[in-house]
Structure 1
């Protein structure tokens, strides 16, 4: 399947389609998505840490995501029985947890704005993807601050 996105044409294998049965808040009509890394003109990854969740149903919608650990944050999530059923989750190790990113700058500037150092992470609503069943959801967490800034890991 071919998609015409803001990143150019993407060829998506049907095995890489992730279904969000209820969509994502704000994008409820988009239930089919895929993950990909943005590539430069040489075919190399623009960022090793940012992936894009691309809507298949609306080619104009793409959400930058990353692992929460890049922001010094690790989740201990408790899923309800209905969330486990929605994800068709048999093993907790099958869940990929990602957070959405937004640019700190109101107006994008030149350079690599997709580097986590230029981004805020929305930790109050992680994206959960069952890597076995390719089913996803966004879990809204009550009582969490909504954004954190990038905290690079320092290795001594």
Structure 2
């Protein structure tokens, strides 16, 4: 199957259809967008611009992209309990197939989200991690309950 071309804020990307991740319910705030892909930004010399950041790029709208990172890189480990419905939706056979990523933002001014500062002026949203089954290519964003901490 031929690659899919998508124009983005990072330039034109050529995406292998096998790398498309489906979010069946969309993502909160972007419910209409179901098809996404992960990619690393490449600089002008063809090198990784930042290996710690991966972009979740909408295949439905080239202008929509979210910077994500592995929370473990910053010393934060999730112990997530999934509902039976979430496990079924993600088609999880082996928990090792699931990666957890969190959204990065430049400043923490969203009062409804818990953030963990990971670098000066950079925050990770730890209240709504992304879970992606790398085998089935299905993802969800899990909104965690506020436990008051």
Q: TM-score, normalised by structure 2?
A: 0.87
Partner of 2:90: 87
Can you list the C-alpha shifts for 1:87-121, whole angstroms capped at 9, x where unaligned? 01111111100000101299xxxxxxxx9544100
Matches within 5 A, 1:114-153: 116-143=119-146
Residue 49 in structure 1 maps to residue 39 in structure 2:
no
Q: Which has the higher contact order (CA 8 A, sep 6+)?
A: 1
Inter-CA distance 43–144: structure 2 relative to 1 (3 Å threshold): farther
> Contact 1:129/1:135 (CA < 8 Å) preserved in 2?
yes
Partner of 2:25: 22
Can you list the C-alpha shifts for 1:104-143, whole angstroms capped at 9, x where unaligned? 299xxxxxxxx95441000000000001000000000001
SS of aligned partner of 1:15 = helix
SS of aligned partner of 1:136 = strand
Can you list the C-alpha shifts for 1:34-80, whole angstroms capped at 9, x where unaligned? 00000111111100100000000011100000011123210010000
Q: Distance in 2 between the 1:59 and 1:137 partners?
A: 20
1:144, distance to aligned residue in structure 2 (A): 5.0
Q: Distance in 2 between the 1:13 and 1:54 partners?
A: 13
Partner of 2:35: 32
Q: Distance in 1 between the 2:38 and 2:119 partners?
A: 18
Q: TM-score, normalised by structure 1?
A: 0.83
The two structures, once aligned, show a CA RMSD in angstroms of 1.9
Greater alpha carbon shift after TM alignment, 7-16 vs 136-145: 136-145
Name the count of aligned residue pairs. 138
